[in-house]
Each structure stands twice: as structure tokens, then as C-alpha cells.
Amino acid sequence: MGENKVGRPKKYSTVEEMEQIIEDYFELCNKKKMPYTVSGLALALDMTRETLLRYEEQNEFSDTIKRAKLRVEGYAEMCLFRGGGIASGVIFSLKNNFGWKDKMEIDNNVGNKDNKPFKNIDLSHLTTEQIKELLKNEDQE
């Protein structure tokens, strides 16, 4: 086991040791026709999902975990395109495990019905009738 100055000792002393277990996990999934999942990856590594995510932040294991998670993400994407899973479940996984988001576009342009920008006019000195007249003239333009 590797040394860790604070807390528990690391579960894996070398990157190669971790990579072998990860590869064994993917081979088992292929053999048994099981989906690749982040939780399955964590279980194969004998750790919680949270611990797996912490390992992803440690320099020594970061690339290994990121590549494994990328493989899980790629599998989920493939399921969406091939229809190999329930789409809502696959989308849920992609959003919660890989930061995917629904794209929302908001139009911040403000204008009248012709989408022309409003004129900047100080109306504080005008009467209600004068304002109505201005609005009527604006509609005719």
C-alpha cells in the first residue's frame, strides 16, 4: 500500500495495479453484457463512489480514473445513439456523473413587436394622453 501522510493509506500503491483492476472490470462487463457505470467501477476498485472521485483529484491516479470515467461516459453516449438503454436513465447518468446539461438559449433582446429596440425616451413630463399618442405613432412606424 502507498503511504498517505494524513488519513487512511492509499488502497493502490501503483497506477499499474489500479489500471489492471479497471481493465478487468471492463472485460467482465463485456463478457456478462453489463453496462459500464461509475458505481460499478467504484465497486470493482473496492471503494465508494466518493472515494473514486477523490482518487480522480490525486495527481498519481488522476489520469487513470479520468480515462476510466471517459470510457463509462462514451458507453453511455453510445447507448443513447444505439438505443441500448432507457434514454431517460442514460441522460440522468450523463448529467449526474459527467456534467452534461440541457442547453437553454435565452434571448435577452428587448424590443417591440417588430423586434426593433425601444427608444430611450423620458416620459416623466408627459401626460397620459401624450404617452398614448406616442405609442400609437410607434405602432404606425
Q: What is the pLDDT of residues 51-102, one digit of tens each?
A: 998 888 887 899 999 999 999 989 988 887 777 667 777 777 778 776 777 7
Domain ranges of the chain: 15-98
**The pLDDT value given to residue 116:** 62
**The pLDDT value given to residue 32:** 96
The larger pLDDT score, comparing residue 22 to residue 116, is at 22
List, in order, residues 6 or more apart from 39 with CB less than 8 Å away: 49
pLDDT at 28 over 80: yes
Distance CA 29, CA 20 (A): 14
**The pLDDT value given to residue 34:** 93
Distance CA 100, CA 106 (A): 18
pLDDT band at 23 (very low <50, low <70, confident <90, very high): very high
For residue 30, give the C-alpha cell.
463485456
List, in order, residues 6 or more apart from 15 with CB less than 8 Å away: 60, 61, 64
Q: Which of 20, 7, 16 is nearest to 51 (CA)?
A: 7
User: pLDDT by residue (tens digit) across 102-141?
Assistant: 776 666 655 555 666 656 667 777 788 887 787 777 666 5
**The pLDDT value given to residue 95:** 81
**The pLDDT value given to residue 59:** 77
